[in-house]
Amino acid sequence: MLIGGEWVAARSGATFETVDPFTGRAWAEVPRAAAADVGAAVGAARAAYEDWRRTTGNERARLMRRLADLIAENAERIAVVETTDNGKLIREMEGQLRGLADHYLYFAGAADKIGGATIPSDRSNFLIYTLREPVGVVAAITPWNSPVLLASWKLAPALAAGCTVVVKPAEQAPASTLEFAELIAEAGFPPGVVNVVTGFGPDAGAPLVAHPGVDKVAFTGATATGREVMRGAASHLARVSLELGGKSPNVVFADADLEAAAGGVVAGVFAAAGQTCMAGSRLLVEASVHDEFVALLAEQADAIRLGDPLDPATEMGPLAFAAHREAVERHIAGAVQDGARLVCGGDRPPGDGYFVQPTIFGDVKGEMRLAREEVFGPVLAVQRFADEAEAVRIANATEFGLAAGVWTSDVRRAHRMARELRAGTVWINSYRAVGPMAPFGGFGASGIGRENGLVALDEYTELKTVWVELSGAARDPFKLG
């Protein structure tokens, strides 16, 4: 683990293995942190903070640009590590890692531009202005589906703002975060500015969230876990940003380009084997084209090539670990029990690895578990609608509000839908597009706060108001103002 600029084992000497989901065999061994290791990491971040927060924006930006260069140079190597650790396609991971450099370049450009404003005063003897200052030590807790990307969504704005960070990756896929930490050290960041601890939630995650030396917790993961994180952070009133689950709708109108829409639906729910918070796991189709579109989609789903995620020809890899495949299979069995119609898939394909076939259910009703619960796997729930009003009603009939897709050739309808859908991101005639400049986050049970975009800097800064009395005149001490 990286703590205070040093590579260290867990103080107990404990380790654990991480498993390649394609082979089902352990392939790496990493330290198993406990509360003492977490305390050391937070202490290192706290010690580094006083100097780092005073480091100029220009210097922070220089280090971030150096890190971006190293990411570009090492993208292929880290992509292989992450693919081996969590089963995501190498074709996706290489592109994701190369594009990751842009996140650090984007926020490096903002590091020397974080400032406040002069506020017009209602009295002539006061100058009023604001300052933006770093929030302090940040605990960044990341999931197993995109560990380095989602760590960077937190690291890049935090470093630009002048915060120090302790990263705790998910225990199912920690290796790529440790590899990435090597680049942070090589880039020349001062010791303790970024620290990485690896371990399990109860042993390392919970002590990190509840540590009184942590000023903010940035978490990405399941909604149930997010609620526990919020409780832990509340014990010492740490600020939180939570990017949680989703049950996002892809809405296809009859006037849409159905071929393009089918490709977008496939990207939304079968890319990454559906293991993404923004998965378009609900498909809403206008009744007049419902049967035609579902048949087209089933044909494409059946043709998806499953296999070794390190093979560039593979189109869908395994689920990340055995217990998660079992959870997805329970959702499939539950959908059948509730009366949904299995259109395609639903089984394990022959061979090794934690695979589940691309699965589509039709005749899904709003009260069914498949329409309400996040599966986080390659399982699509299809519902039909009669008109725009019904589409909005069905789409918004969820506790989640992370993302949505709309497929139509009517530009007026597209904008109406974008306004009516209760989601943090709405894609029009597209799906699963993100970038460092575009805020991302959700409504309701999908979380609190936003990542990416300049608004993300607000998550890592405190706003301070300064009043300066200009006249030097005495005032009545018992009168406000």
Residues tagged active-site: 243, 277
Is-contact 289 252, C-beta < 8 A? yes
Work out the number of other CB atoms within 10 angstroms of the CB of residue 184.
24
Distance CA 68, CA 98 (A): 9
Considering only CA atoms, which of 352, 396, 337, 402 is closest in space to residue 376? 402
Distance CA 57, CA 445 (A): 35
Is-contact 64 108, C-beta < 8 A? yes
Distance CA 219, CA 151 (A): 9
Work out the number of other CB atoms within 10 angstroms of the CB of residue 9.
14
Distance CA 89, CA 108 (A): 29
Task: Find the helix or strand (DSSP H, E) in which 252 lies.
Answer: strand 249-252
Distance CA 241, CA 219 (A): 6
The separation between CA 75 and the C-alpha centre of its own chain, rounded to angstroms, equals 19
Query: Tokens 């919020």, residue?
Result: 230
Is-contact 355 348, C-beta < 8 A? yes
Backbone angles phi, psi at 413, to 5 degrees: -60, -40
